[in-house]
Amino acid sequence: MFLDDLREAPAGWIRCRTPAEVIALLETGDVEELSLDHDLGLIDGEREATGYDVLTWIERQVATAGFRPPEMYVHSANPVAHRRMLDAIESIARLQGSDA
Q: What is the arithmetic mean of pLDDT over 85-93?
A: 97
C-alpha to C-alpha distance for 27 and 17, rounded to whole angstroms: 17
Nearest-Å Rg of the Cα atoms of the chain is: 13
Give the β-pairing of 71-74 and 33-36. parallel
DSSP characters for 15-83? Answer: EE-SHHHHHHHHTTT---EEEE-SEEEEEETTEEEEHHHHHHHHHHHHHHH-----EEEE--S-HHHHH
Please tell me the predicted confidence (pLDDT) of residue 100.
44
C-alpha to C-alpha distance for 34 and 26, rounded to whole angstroms: 9
Maximum distance among all alpha carbons in the chain? 39
Domains of the chain: which residue ranges?
2-99
pTM for the model: 0.92
If one looks up domain 2-99 in CATH, what number appears? 3.40.50
**Is the pLDDT assigned to residue 71 strictly greater than 80?**
yes
Please tell me the predicted confidence (pLDDT) of residue 99.
52
**Is the pLDDT assigned to residue 11 strictly greater than 70?**
yes
Residue 43 pLDDT grade (very low, low, confident, very high; cuts 50, 70, 90): confident
